[in-house]
Amino acid sequence: MSNEMIACSKEIAGFGKLSIYIQGITERIQVLRERIKSTTSLKAHFLWMNDAELDANMIANAKKNYAHAWKCYRCGETKNPPAFHRRTYALTYQTNPHYNRQRVSEATLINGSAGFRDAAHVYVPKLGRIRCKGSRKMLARVFSMQSVRIGTMTVMKDAGGDYFLSLQLALDEPFVPSLPEAVSTIGIDLNLKNFYVDSNGRRVDNPVYIQRTKRRVTRAQHVLSRKARGCRRQHIPLCNGVRYQAQRRLVARLKQKIKRQRQDFLHVQTMNLIKNHETIVAEQLDIRKLVHLRRCTKAIYEASWRTFLDFLEYKAKRYRRTFVKVNPAYTTQQCSTCGYVLPTGQRLQLSDRQWQCPSCHVLHDRDRNAACNILQRGLASLIR
In whole angstroms, how close is the CB of 358 to Zn ion at the nearest point? 8
Q: Measuring CA to CA, which residue among 173, 182, 344 is closest to residue 278?
A: 182
> From the list 104, 360, 380, 382, which residue makes contact with Zn ion (rule: CB under 5 A)?
360
| Nearer residue to Zn ion within complex by CB, 275 or 361 | 361
How far is Cα 276 from Cα 270, in angstroms, rounded to an integer? 10
How far is Cα 131 from Cα 134, in angstroms, rounded to an integer? 10
In whole angstroms, how close is the CB of 166 to Zn ion at the nearest point? 52
| Nearer residue to Zn ion within complex by CB, 304 or 331 | 331
Query: What values do phi and psi take at 341, rounded to 5?
Result: -105, 130
Q: Measuring CA to CA, which residue among 360, 355, 367 is closest to residue 339?
A: 360
| Nearer residue to Zn ion within complex by CB, 40 or 359 | 359
| Residue list 320-339, contact with Zn ion (CB under 5 A) | 335, 337-338
> From the list 58, 258, 324, 357, which residue makes contact with Zn ion (rule: CB under 5 A)?
357
Residue 350 in the binding site for Zn ion (CB under 5 A): no
| Nearer residue to Zn ion within complex by CB, 140 or 329 | 329
CB 313 within 8 Å of CB 271? no
Number of residues that bind Zn ion (CB under 5 A): 7
In whole angstroms, how close is the CB of 355 to Zn ion at the nearest point? 10
> From the list 340, 342, 348, 379, which residue makes contact with Zn ion (rule: CB under 5 A)?
340
In whole angstroms, how close is the CB of 354 to Zn ion at the nearest point? 14
Residues that bind Zn ion (CB under 5 A): 335, 337-338, 340, 357, 359-360
